[in-house]
Amino acid sequence: MPPEENKDSRARVDTDAIQSLNEELTASNEELQASNEELIAMQGQLEASLEVISDRERQINAMVESAPFPIAVYIGREMRIAQANKAVIQVWGKGDNVIGKTYSELLPELEEQNIYAQLHAVYDSGIPFHIRNQQVNIVVDGKLTEFYFNYSFTPLLNKSGSVYGIMNTAADVTDLFLAKKQMEYSEQNFRNMIMQAPVAMCLLKGPDFIVELVNTPMVEIWGKPLEEVENKPVFDALPDAREQGLESVMSNVYHTGKTYFANEQPVSLIRHGKPEIVYQNFVYQAYRDTNGSIEGVLAISVDVSEQVLSRLELQKTYEQIQLSKEAAQLGTFDMDLLKGTMEWDNRCRTLFGISHKDVVTYEKDFLGGLHPEDRQRAATIIDSLFASSTGDKDYDIEYRTIGAEDGKTRWVRAKGKVYFAGQLPIRFIGMVLDISVQKENELRLAELAEKQARLAAIVNSSDDIIISKTLDGIITSWNPAAERTFGYREQEAVGRHISMIIPRDRLSEEDYIISQIRNGKKVDHFDTIRVGKNGQELQLSLTISPVIDDNGKIIGASKIGRDISAKLAAEQTAKKYTERLEIMNMIMGTISAELDLNKILQKVTDATTNLTGAKFGAFFYNKTDEQGESYMLFTLSGAPREAFEKFGMPRNTAVFHPTFSGQSVLRSDDITKDSRYGQNAPHFGMPKGHLPVVSYLAVPVVSRSGQVIGGLFFGHPQPGKFTEEHEILVSSIAAQAAISLDNAKLFEQVKALNDKKDEFIGLASHELKTPLASISGYLQILGRLLKDSQHQKFLGKASLQVSKLTSLVNDLLDVSKIEAGQLKLTIAAFDLKEVINEAIELIQYGADNHTITFRTKLNHSIISGDAQRIEQVVLNLLSNAIKYSPEASLVEVELCEAEENLIVSVRDFGMGIAPEKAKHIFTRFYRIDEAIANISGLGIGLYLSHEMISRHQGKLWVESEAGNGSTFYFSLPRRTDKGGLASDA
Amino acid sequence: MPAVNKIVIFDDDDDLLGIFRFLFEDSGWEVYAFENCNDLIRKTKEIMPRLILMDNWIPPQGGIIATQMIKNDSILKEIPVIFVSANNDVKELAIKAGADAYTEKPFDFDVLNDLAILLINKPRA
C-alpha cells in the first residue's frame, strides 16, 4: 500500500532528523559547558588580580592588557575610557585609539541599548552590575553587528570609598549564545514539530512516562481530553494501554534504549467513553538528554485503524466472496494465454474429477475431460472467443464432463471472459458451476411431461372416473368420465370441494378417506353412493390413492371411481334371487323332509306368513278321504283357530274365486276397495268379528296334475303390505308346497299299502303255517300208530318236506320283516363253534353225497349275537354249498380268528360264480341264470344271510371263480359286550 | 306216574286241538281242550291243570291277553304256560304275554312233551 508506506517512511525520516538534531544539540551543550567553566575560572583569577591591582596597578594593567577577554576602565561619569585592553579594543572594532574617549563617543550605537544607563547606575550607586548573554549591537567595520556578552560593570572606588570609575569586563559569548540560541530554537522546533506533526507524537518523560508533550493526533488516538493526560503518567491516564502490555514494552525501551516498532498493533482504548480498537503503527524511541542518558520515550504513532479496518473489510469481503463462491459451488479457472498456463481451483478440479493439485492443461485436462459429445462444441466456442477481435463476447456454455478419476458424468455451466491486449487474447477467466442436479431435473421434467401427457391421454379416455383432490378436499382434476357421470364440466368442478358430490349422510366417509390418505394408505374398492349434478344417486366403487410429491410428502388424493349402479342392480337381483332361493330352500328343506300332511301345511303357513310379514296367514287344503268324500283342512298362523272356525270354510265368492279356481294370484293393497269385495250375501264384506284384513294376498296351490288342492291367504290390517316380491315368493313356495303335499299324499298311500303288505305277509305266513302244523301233527300221530318200518320211512320223508316248507315260509316272512325294518335279534352270548357243529350235523343228516368237514384251532369262540339267526346263516351257506356242487363230494368249513373278528368260511368245489355275478348274489331274489335251469330256490337265502350278518356288524363275502368252486366267508366281531348290536328294540 | 298230569289246551283250530289231545293223551296226560277262552279263569280253576298250552290266535281276546289274565290270577299264576303260535315272532309274543315257554307251529311233539315235563317238574319258586 504505497500511501501507507510513504507515511511510514516519512515518519522514519522525521525521527532520523530529530535524532541527529539531538546529537548536535548535545555537542553544543558540551561545548558551552566547557566555555562557562573556563569563564568562571578566569573571573576568579580576575577578581584576585583586582585585589592585587590596587597595590600593584601596573602589574594589573599589564595583566589586563594581556587578558584574553575584554577589559576596560571608564573614569568619571562621562565614562572616559582610561584603559582598554586589546581584547576589548578588538571587540569594539573602533580601532586602537580609544583611550581618552568617552564611552558614548566611542560607542554611540549603544545609546539606544540601555548600556549607558547601566553604567550610570553603577557609577551612581556603586553597585556592580552583571549581566549574561546580553545582546549588544556594535558597529564593526561600519556595520552594526550583533554580539552577545556576559559583562560586568564593577565600580571602582577610591580610597574614600566613592566611585571614580567603572571597570568593564566582558566575555564575548556571541558564539556561545548563538549556539545556545540555536539549540533553543532546535528545542522549540522539536516541540513544534511534535505539536504540529500530522502523526501522533508524544514525549513521555521519566520512568513513569509523564506526558510532557502530546500533539493533537495523539490526543485523538487516546480519545481523552488533553487535560486528563497532560503531565500525567501516561499509563495512569491510559490504564487500558498498560493492560495490553504497552507499559512493559515502553519500559524496555526506556531501559535499553532499543527502539520498538509496532505495525498495525490493535490497541483497545476507551475513547470518548467508548471502548474501541485502534490499530496503530508506532515507534517507541528513547529520548536522551545532552549526555545521552535516557530521559524518556518519544512515542510516534500513526492511527492506521481506517486502513486496517478497510483492509479487514476488504479481506472480509474477499472471504465472503470466497464463501459464496464455495456456497454456490462455483469453481474458477484462469488461463494465461501468453504463458499457456491454466489455473483451476479445487472446485473446478472437482468438476473435472481431478483430486490432485498438479498442473492442469487446456488440452489434456479441459478438452480431454469433456464428454465426447460436448467436446467439439466447447472447443469451437472457445476458439471463436479467442478469435474475436472485439473481445466483448461472453463465454457461457453448458457441457458435460467425464470425471478423470471417478468417471462420473457431471453437467457443468461455465461462464467467463477473454481479455485482450489489443488484438491479442491474453487471459481467459471464468467460473464453472455444477448443474447436474438441475440438468437431471430438466431431463426428468421432460420425461415427466411426456409421462404426464401419456397419463393425461389415459385419464381423458378412461371410462372410469378419475378425480384428484388436495388433502383439503379441493378438486384439482376432473376427467371426461367424471363429467359424463356427475354432469359437472371440468371447469365447474375444479377448485370446488369434493363434498359437492357426496351425499349429506355420507360426508363422514370423506373424513375416513382423507384420514387413510394422510396416513399414506390406499382405500380400495370402497363401494358407496355419490350424487350427480341433477341430484341422482350413483353407485360407485372408489379406489383412492395418496398423491405423493417428489419429497415423499402426501399432497393429495387421486380417486378412481367406477359406476357400479348396473353391477349393483345385478348384484341386488342376484342377491334377492339367492335370498329367495335360500328361503325357499329352507322352507322346502323343512317341508320336503316332512311327510305328514298337517305338519307340511302348518310349516308352509308359518313360513309364508313370516316371509310376507302378514299379520295372519291361512292355508286351506282340499282333501278327499278314502271314501272319496271331499273335505277341507286348514292351518293358521298369527291368529287363533277360533278366529276362523265360527265362519266356516271360505266359500267360492268373487274374492275367493280366483284362488280356489286356481286362476290367479290375488294381491291387493286394500281388498276392501276391490270391486269384487262385498258382493256376496249374506255378509257383503267381511263377517262381523272377522280378522281386520286390508292388505290381502291369496295364492292358489295347484298340484302337478293341475288340480287345485288349496290356497294360501294372507292378511294385514294396514294397506299396501304385500309386494310383488312377496307374491313371487309365496307363489314359488306354493308350487313347492303342492309338490310336497302330493308327495305326502303319495307317501300316505304307500304307507297304507305297505302296512297292508306287512299285514298280508304276517297273515299269509300264519295261514300257511297253521295247516303245516296240522299236517306235521297228523304225521306225528301216524308215526306213533304205524309200526311198519316202511311206513315209518315215508312218514320221515313227509316230515322233512313239511319242515322244508316251513323254513321257506319263515324265510319269506323274514324278508318282509327286514323290508319293514322289523327284524328283531335276540342277543346273547353263545359259542359259535357249537352253532356251526349243530348246523353241520343238521345238514349232514340230509346230505348223503357230501362230506362236511369242520376245522378250527380255536378253543374259545364265544360271541354275542342271535345264535338262531347265525345258525340260520350257517345252514344257508351249507345247503347252498351242497346244492351248487352236485358233482363234488366235499364241503369244508373252517373257523378262525383275525384281529377282533371270528371268521367262518364254507368252501365248496362246485360250479363257482363268475365275478360279474358275484356282486349280485346278496341281492334279494337274485339267482344266477345258468344255475336256475336245474337248481331250485327263491333267491332269498344269501340276501337274508347278508342282512343277518350285517345286523351283527359283521361281513359276508364270497371268493369264487367260475368252475372252480366258491368260498363264502362271514366275519363277526368278537366283542361280547352289548355295544353296537341291535337288540329287541 | 303217581298222579295224572292235567293239561289245558287253548287253540281255535279243531285239527290241532285233536292232534294235541291225541299226542298228549298218548303220552299219559289228561287233556282239557278249548276252542276259545271264554270263561277262561273259571274253566281253568275248575280243572287246575299242571300246564297250559295257549295259542296266540285264540278268540275272543287272543292268547296274549289270555295268558296275562292267567298270570294275573293269584291262584292260576303258578301254572306254567307254553305259548304256541304260527307266527314267526312267537318268542317275542310269548315274552309279551308273560308265558313260561313257547313252541312254534309246526311243532315237534317230542320236543314239546319234553318241555312240558320239564316245566311241571320245575321247582316252584
User: Which residues in chain B have their CB less than 8 angstroms from residue A765's CB?
Assistant: 86-88
* Torsional class of A162: left (φ above 0), alpha (ψ -120 to 50), beta (otherwise): beta
Contacts of B114 in chain A (CB under 8 A): none
SS3 annotation, A908-928: ECCCCCCHHHHCCCCCCCCCC
What is the spatial order of strands in the sheet that A330-336 belongs to? A341-344, A330-336, A424-434, A409-421, A394-402
pLDDT for position A147: 84
Task: Answer whether B106 sits within 8 Å of A802, measured CB to CB.
Answer: yes
User: pLDDT band at residue B80, thresholds of 50, 70 and 90?
Assistant: very high
Instruction: Give the distance from residue B67's alpha carbon to the nearest chain A alpha carbon, in angstroms.
Output: 20
Task: Work out the number of other CB atoms within 10 angstroms of the CB of residue B3.
Answer: 7
| AA letter at B95 | I
SS3 A69: coil
Contact A469/A557 with Cβ under 8 angstroms? Answer: yes
From the CB of residue A484, how many other CB atoms can be counted at a distance below 10 Å?
12
**Residue A868 buriedness (CB in 10 A; 0-12 / 13-18 / 19+):** middle
Number of Cβ within a 10 Å radius of residue A572: 11
**Chain B residues near any Cβ of chain A (below 8 Å):** 13, 15-16, 19-20, 22-23, 26, 57, 85-89, 91-92, 105-109
Residue B75 has pLDDT above 80, yes or no: yes
Chain B partners of A768 at a C-beta cutoff of 8 Å? 86
Strand partners, A163: A157
Would you state the pLDDT for residue A7?
Answer: 53
Residue A980 has pLDDT above 60, yes or no: no
Task: Give all strands (DSSP E) within A762-840, no chain letters.
Answer: 828-831
Residue by residue, DSSP assigns A582-608 as HHHHHHHHHHHH---HHHHHHHHHHHH
Residue A983 in this model has a pLDDT that exceeds 50: no
Res A56: pLDDT: 60
| Interface check A820 vs B, CB under 8 A | no
pLDDT of residue B2: 46
Check A769 against B106: CB less than 8 A apart: yes
Stretch A856-870: mean pLDDT? 85
Q: What is the mean pLDDT of residues A913-928?
A: 72
| Domains, chain A, ordered by start | 14-180 (3.30.450.20), 197-310 (3.30.450.20), 329-440 (3.30.450.20), 462-561 (3.30.450.20), 572-744 (3.30.450.40), 824-973 (3.30.565.10)
**Helix A724-785 crosses helix A565-593 at what angle (to 10 degrees)?**
30
Say if CB A119 and CB A111 are below 8 A apart. no
Which grid coordinates are listed for A132?
Answer: 549574561
Q: Nearest-5° angle of CA A733, CA A735, CA A741?
A: 95
Q: In one letter, which amino acid is A360?
A: V
Across the interface, whether the CB atoms of B105 and A769 are under 8 A apart is answered: yes
The CATH class of B5-120 is alpha beta
Higher pLDDT, A663 or A713: A713
DSSP B123: P
B105 vs A contacts (CB less than 8 Å): 769-770, 772-773
Q: Output the nine-digit C-alpha cell for B95.
A: 315274552
Residue A658 preceded by cis peptide, ω within 30: no
Flag the least confident range among A44-53, A132-141, A822-831, B42-51. A44-53
Q: What is the mean pLDDT of residues A569-583?
A: 76
More confident residue, A197 or A60: A197
Collect all residues of chain B within an 8 Å Cβ-Cβ radius of residue A803.
106
- In tens, the pLDDT along A821-836 reads 667 777 888 888 888 9
pLDDT in tens, A83-116: 888 888 888 888 888 888 888 888 888 888 888 8
Mean pLDDT for A415-443 is 83
The per-residue pLDDT for range A843-855, each reduced to its tens digit, is 887 778 889 899 8
Q: So what's the pLDDT on residue A926?
A: 65
Q: Element (H or E) spanning A396, and its range?
A: strand A394-402
pLDDT of residue A927: 62
CA distances from B74 to A287, B51, B68, B78, B119 (A): 173, 16, 12, 8, 19
Q: How far apart are CA A41 and CA A548, in angstroms?
A: 116
* pLDDT tens digits, one per residue of A226-251: 888 888 888 888 887 777 778 888 88
CA distance A748 to chain B (A): 27
Q: For residue A893, is it left (φ>0), alpha (ψ between -120 and 50) or beta?
A: beta
Burial of A447 (0-12, 13-18, 19+ CB in 10 A): exposed
Closest CB from A773, A814, A984 relative to B16: A773
CA distance A292 to A251: 17
Q: Where are the alpha helices (DSSP H) in B8-108?
A: 14-26, 40-47, 63-72, 90-97
